[in-house]
């Protein structure tokens, strides 16, 4: 605003301008007060943590899903039939390891 415009304003216009500026300043101060309030800061921190956890869990889900899909491909043919040539050896190893662990735990118990 130029000096000529400022001088041509009426007292009512000046008062109205002061009220508008005061209202804007009050809104700004209220907003700052809300932003720096401990509850707001804590809520923002919680939201960031929740977002990080969600992203991490999402990545974990995708990783696990990919791993399960890869393992499934090893034991199931594309037609959906079990691949016995791969399942039987793994099952025998699992049974053998389980048997050894059972025998060892019984020996320790005596």
Give residue 21's pLDDT: 97
Please give the Cα distance from 59 to 47 (Å, whole number): 18
37-76 pLDDT per residue, tens: 999 899 999 999 999 999 999 999 999 999 999 999 999 9
Average pLDDT of every residue of the chain: 90
- For the chain, domain boundaries: 3-83, 84-110
| 50 to 8, 41, 56: CA distances (angstroms) | 57, 14, 10
Say if CB 47 and CB 54 are below 8 A apart: no
- 35 has a pLDDT exceeding 90: no
Does an H or E element contain 77, and which?
none
DSSP lists the bridge partners of residue 76 as: 82
Please give the Cα distance from 32 to 26 (Å, whole number): 10
List all residues 6 or more positions away from 74 whose beta carbon is below 8 Å from its beta carbon.
Answer: 83, 86
Say if CB 44 and CB 38 are below 8 A apart: no
């Amino acid at each position: 605003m130029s000096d000529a415009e400022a001088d041509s304003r009426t007292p009512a216009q000046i008062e109205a301008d002061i009220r508008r500026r005061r209202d804007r300043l009050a809104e700004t101060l209220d907003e700052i007060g809300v932003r720096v309030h401990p509850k707001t800061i804590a809520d923002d921190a919680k939201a960031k943590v929740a977002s990080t956890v969600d992203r991490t869990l999402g990545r974990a889900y995708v990783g696990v899903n990919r791993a399960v899909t890869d393992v499934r491909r090893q034991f199931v043919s594309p037609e959906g039939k079990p691949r016995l040539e791969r399942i039987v050896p793994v099952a025998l190893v699992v049974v053998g390891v389980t048997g050894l662990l059972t025998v060892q735990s019984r020996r320790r118990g005596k």
